[in-house]
């Protein structure tokens, strides 16, 4: 739009929103603003909470940096709106965002693409007094094929099970049911955060995360801590969690984890900076848990840690993310 190649870019940073992850999004937005300012750009935070995005004077900006987490900011709705308005933005497009935000939808795609992911069932606990399960996979129409809940369907997975909301990030509402007796309470806990609940076979092993930028994996990061689950509290307040780049794994296993993460991102069509969470079981087999299309950009966030390990500081990272989004969307 007539801007000189090296001129500061005017950037709308979308942060906040009205999802359960609002606080984390605001922290990400603040980190992005600092980094873009240090990179020589002119960012401005826009909080979409209670605001019609049509009211934003988009013509004032060269593009939009998405720092939203959860809700409309991460499930494709904001991406779809910006696409319709002709606004260039960072990260994945509407379809990849929608698929990644629904853990069950992403897992269905992973299975089709041959990406290893734990077995699961999808539950809708608020459908009357009993649970409702969705058979896997959905029908050709993409709609869930709902059938009455059967304890055998869940028991077939075998306990322990990880129980979590299907459409929430930041590990909100995640718990472990180690027996059938614990299962209803865990489902109720997750159901308070999201209407659909995923019950997934627990994989015993080591937890890793791989951040990718433009499809290329950044250094592998292992998550180590005393908590049973890497949940919301662990991510943002625990002092017991440690992050190790020195994993002790042989190079062939490190490459296998990185390659599996790249296949997961490719299967969903995810772009820009993404993060894939994986487990390595006791037989050294990788399993993809989920993919995050808008990783956190706070001081605790894992994708910026991996970028720094690769020699990319925060200002450079945000500058590259921004330019990648602008280049792909004109």
* Catalytic hit among 17, 292, 301, 325: 292
Active site residue 207: no
* Catalytic hit among 16, 17, 19, 21: 21
DSSP 89: B
Active site residue 259: no
Judge contact between 74 and 20, C-beta under 8 A: no
123 DSSP β-pair partners: 133, 197
Active site residue 243: no
Active site residue 21: yes
Active site residue 40: no
**What tokens appear for 236 in the block?**
């943002």
Q: Look-up: residue for tokens 């109720």?
A: 188
* Catalytic hit among 167, 232, 236, 325: 236
Active site residue 292: yes
* Catalytic hit among 296, 301, 319, 325: 296
* Catalytic hit among 290, 301, 319, 325: 290
**Alpha helices, DSSP H, located in the chain:** 22-38, 77-85, 94-101, 103-113, 151-155, 183-191, 232-236, 251-268, 302-309, 314-328
DSSP 25: H
* Catalytic hit among 63, 275, 319, 325: 275
Q: Which of 53, 85, 86 lies closest to 68, judged by CA?
A: 53
Quick check: helix, strand or coil at residue 169? coil
Judge contact between 285 and 259, C-beta under 8 A: no
Active site residue 290: yes
* Catalytic hit among 25, 92, 170, 190: 170
DSSP 49: T
CA distance 53 to 208: 36
Active site residue 277: yes
Reading across the β-sheet that carries 63-66, which strands appear in turn? Answer: 42-46, 10-14, 63-66
Beta strand spans in 136-255 (E): 145-148, 161-165, 175-177, 197-201, 205-213, 216-217, 221-224, 242-244
Judge contact between 282 and 202, C-beta under 8 A: no
Residues serving a catalytic function are 21, 170, 236, 275, 277, 290, 292, 296
């Amino acid at each position: 739009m007539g801007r000189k190649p090296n001129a500061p870019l005017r950037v709308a940073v979308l942060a906040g929103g009205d999802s359960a992850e609002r606080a984390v999004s605001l922290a990400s937005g603040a980190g992005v603003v600092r980094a873009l300012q240090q990179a020589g750009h002119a960012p401005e935070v826009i909080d979409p909470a209670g605001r019609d995005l049509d009211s934003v004077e988009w013509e004032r900006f060269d593009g939009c940096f998405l720092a939203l987490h959860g809700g409309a900011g991460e499930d494709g709705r904001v991406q779809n709106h910006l696409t319709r308005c002709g606004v260039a933005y960072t990260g994945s497009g509407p379809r990849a965002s929608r698929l990644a935000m629904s853990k069950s939808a992403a897992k269905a795609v992973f299975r089709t693409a041959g990406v290893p992911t734990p077995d699961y069932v999808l539950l809708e606990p608020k459908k009357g007094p009993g649970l409702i399960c969705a058979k896997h996979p959905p029908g050709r129409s993409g709609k869930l094929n709902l059938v009455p809940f059967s304890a055998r369907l869940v028991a077939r997975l075998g306990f322990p099970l990880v129980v979590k909301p299907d459409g929430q990030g930041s590990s909100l509402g995640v718990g472990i049911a180690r027996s059938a007796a614990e299962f209803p309470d865990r489902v109720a806990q997750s159901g308070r955060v999201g209407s659909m609940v995923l019950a997934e076979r627990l994989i015993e092993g080591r937890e890793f995360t791989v951040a990718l930028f433009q499809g290329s994996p950044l250094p592998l990061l292992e998550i180590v801590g005393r908590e049973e689950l890497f949940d919301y509290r662990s991510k943002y307040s625990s002092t017991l969690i440690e992050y190790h780049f020195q994993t002790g794994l042989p190079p062939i296993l490190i490459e296998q984890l990185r390659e599996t993460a790249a296949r997961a991102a490719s299967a969903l069509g995810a772009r820009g900076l993404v993060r894939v969470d994986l487990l390595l079981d006791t037989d050294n087999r990788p399993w993809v848990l989920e993919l995050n299309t808008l990783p956190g950009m706070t001081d605790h966030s894992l994708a910026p840690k991996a970028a720094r390990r690769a020699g990319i500081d925060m200002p450079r990272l945000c500058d590259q993310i921004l330019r990648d989004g602008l280049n792909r969307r004109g």
